Structure 1
Amino acid sequence: MTQTVQVVRDDKAVYAAGAVVWRQTEGKLRILLIHRTKYRDATLPKGKVDPGEMLAQTAVREVHEETGIRVHLGVPVGVSRYFMRPKRQKVVHYWAAEATDDAIRKSTFVPNREIAALEWVSLKKARKNLSYPVDLEILDEFERLVSDGALRTFPIVALRHAKAASRSDWDGPDAARPLTGRGREQAEAIVAPLRAFGIRKIVTSDAVRCVQTVAPLARALDRRPVQTELISQDAWEDGVSDVRTVIGKRVRSGKPAVICSHGPVLPGILSELALATGTMHGSYVGSASSLELAAFSVAHLSATNPGSGIISIETHVPKV
């Protein structure tokens, strides 16, 4: 059931992001359609990427701007591609995103020049009312998740630390190497994309470069990171790391978490995550663990049965 998604961009297309926003009401599944004023159509909430944004934060921002509802992203549900005039491709990434009752109550939406109305509909009615075939393709993938019982999930994020001072230029202990100026920019840039997935727990190697990488996120969430040598590079090089203990605790907790570590340690983190969830070990594990500096992979697990396997893994790379 595992699918892998590489969230990358190039400069030859116009990029956008959105979500299939869903809720359960009186035991029935409903999804949110927006009726746009100018185009007189019914579609899914989405919008173009702002300069400097990563796609995940675009999706959350656009859903909030168009509907007034704050959501966290779940499993990716596909990418639509179509051509705009003059023959420039538009690429739209979508995620499933649950709208909680509290988030709906707090919505301040009123009809405006862009969005005439919001409508919660059944999947059957959505299929009938959506204006564009590309939206129906996204709905197909969403319905597959529903059929598989894999709609409600929680993420565990494997994050590689941001750019640090090089070993050759550093006289002190390796674990004390700090982030460079670019590394600090990267650490700030990934805060919003990580928050898009509803992160609540931060676990990090006790190396300075990892602690500094998650510091901006910790401030934004007002949470204290858990520092541990069990996933440090020093422990890995000395053969005394214990990734299994860290991963097992996070899977059992069922809470959205980010785990910040080092390039050599990340393959072990993803492998242990596969083992802990009963997922067949495949090439996707290697791909998801081969991260650039400050990049991260999001593994989505079933909220009701984490041992049923990784549902999806997606990788995000900052532009900084």
Structure 2
Amino acid sequence: MTTAIYAAGAVCWRLIDGKVHVLVIHRTVYGDVTIPKGKVDPGESLPQTAVREIAEETGLAVALGVPLGVSRYPLPSGREKIVHYWAAEVSDRAVQRSTFKPNAEVAALEWVTVKRARGYLSYEPDVEILDAFAKLLDQDVTSTFSLAVVRHGKAVSRSSWSGDDATRPLTERGVEQAAGLVATLSAWAPKRIVSSPAVRCVTTVTPLAAAAGLEIKRDAGISQDAWESGEDEVRRVVGKRVRAGKSAIICSHGPVLPEIMREVALATGTPLGSYVTDAAGLETGAFSVVHLSATSPGSGIIAIETHAPRA
């Protein structure tokens, strides 16, 4: 059996004269027109690949938005190519700072309307992904933000720890999981990190905070101690993050995660269902990303994606 080739990319979009335009690239060697994407490098996560490839092909720094789907198609070699896509809003600042120059891989970049892009794109799988993006536009979903709900990394067991439960440290694997979160969670460009004050939670998000230049907001309202005593303040913590409308990280404990996800659903008027509870069933070091409308978060959860730990 041949091994599949994995890749990732995004439909990059921006408003031009009040109308949504998407970015297509004219490739030099193939003479075709495609959506920005590229192959996964060894050790990369798919979100990390998408952001890196967009930067390399277009010179644009982007943060990922809503997942758009997966394309699968055979290559001439007989191997299958599997490409994961997201939407990615491009700010005016990112455009102004673009480092793109025509090169041996990409001859030109072009911002076009969705309708024109359908006629430009050379491959049907790209058109299908563009159509998924167009459906979001039809639902008046453009600008979004994300809440990444993270379960802390693997910690020393209670039975082998003589101190307070809140002081239990991460194991060596947990430390590796914390380091592995940095590149992947950075793909959504979080603006805030909120954590249970427990050592295992704070340590999990410390590498990300250092990389992003963010302060960790320790909040006992999402601690396991507060949850076990019935004194948690999950609703307050989640409500504040939804009202803020900016991408954020919430790091807590396995038993608390279902309540966090439930409150995200309630705060956004989303019907409760298995997709919400499933997103809370995380192993240590894993996380779920909840995507919400920046203009009307009360319209409900747009999408949820779950990512396994990197170690």
1:260 to 224, 242, 251: 251
How many aligned residue pairs are there? 310
Match of residue 82 from structure 1: 73
Task: Give 5+ residue unaligned stretches, structure 2.
Answer: none
**8 Å Cα contact 2:37/2:54 also seen in 1:** yes
Residues 31-50 of structure 1: pairs in structure 2 closer than 5 A: 31-50=22-41
What is the match of residue 288 of structure 1?
Answer: 279
Post-superposition Cα deviations, 1:75-100, rounded to whole Å, max 9, x if no partner, equal 01111001124322111000000111
Bigger drift between 269-278 and 83-92 goes to: 83-92
Matched with 1:149 is 140
Task: Tell me, yes or no, if structure 1 residue 174 matches structure 2 residue 165.
Answer: yes
Q: 1: distance between equivalents of 2:43 and 2:155?
A: 21
For 2:247 and 2:200, the matched residues in 1 are separated by 22
- What amino acid maps onto 2:18 in structure 1? G
Contact 2:21 2:112 in 1 (8 A): yes
Distance in structure 2 (CA, Å) of the matches to 1:130 and 1:232 = 49
The one-letter code of the counterpart of 1:282 is G
Partner of 1:242: 233
Equivalent in the alignment of 2:203? 212
Structure 1 counterpart of 2:153, from 150, 162, 168: 162
Find out whether 1:275 has 2:266 as its counterpart.
yes
- Tell me, yes or no, if the aligned pair for 2:181 and 2:310 is still in contact at 8 Å: no
Q: Determine if the alignment matches structure 1 residue 128 to structure 2 residue 119.
A: yes
Report the Cα distance in structure 2 between the residues aligned to 1:59 and 1:193, rounded to whole angstroms: 10
Matches of 1:240 and 1:22 in 2, distance apart? 43
Which consecutive segments of 4 or more residues in structure 1 shift more than 4 A? none
Q: How many Å apart are 1:308 and its aligned residue? A: 0.7
Q: CA separation in 2, counterparts of 1:109 and 1:223?
A: 29
Q: Which runs of 5+ in 1 are unaligned?
A: 1-10
Residues in 2 aligned to 1:151 and 1:284: alpha-carbon distance in whole angstroms: 22
**Could you say if the C-alpha distance between residues 12 and 290 of structure 1 is closer, same or farther in structure 2, counting changes exceeding 3 Å?**
farther
After TM superposition, the score normalised by the length of structure 2 is 0.98
Of 50, 60, 84 in structure 1, the residue corresponding to residue 51 of structure 2 is: 60
Structure 1 residue 211, shift from structure 2 partner:
0.3
Query: Which amino acid is 2:77 matched to?
Result: P
Q: Counterpart amino acid of 1:88? A: R
The percentage of aligned residue pairs carrying the same residue is: 61
Contact (CA 8 Å) 2:193, 2:250: kept in 1 or not? yes
- 2:216 matched residue in structure 1: 225
CA contact (8 A) 1:206 1:227 kept: yes
1:190 correspondence with 2:181: yes
Give RMSD over aligned pairs.
1.1
**8 Å contact 1:35–1:118 — kept in the other structure?**
yes
Contact 1:66-1:115 within 8 A present in 2 as well: yes
Q: TM-score, normalised by structure 1?
A: 0.95
Q: How much has 1:203 moved relative to structure 2? A: 0.3
1:107 counterpart (98, 108, 113) = 98
C-alpha distance in structure 1 between counterparts of 2:81 and 2:166, whole Å: 44
2:291 paired residue among 297, 300, 311: 300
The answer to whether the 8 A contact 1:54-1:318 is kept is no
Q: Deviation of residue 12 (structure 1)? A: 3.8
Whole-Å separation in 1 of the counterparts to 2:71 and 2:183: 23
Q: Report the secondary structure of 1:178's partner residue.
A: coil
Q: Is contact 1:187–1:216 with CA below 8 Å preserved after alignment?
A: yes
User: Per the alignment, in what secondary structure is the counterpart of residue 196 of structure 1?
Assistant: helix
Q: Is the 8 A contact 1:68 1:108 kept in 2?
A: yes
Q: CA deviation at 1:51?
A: 1.2
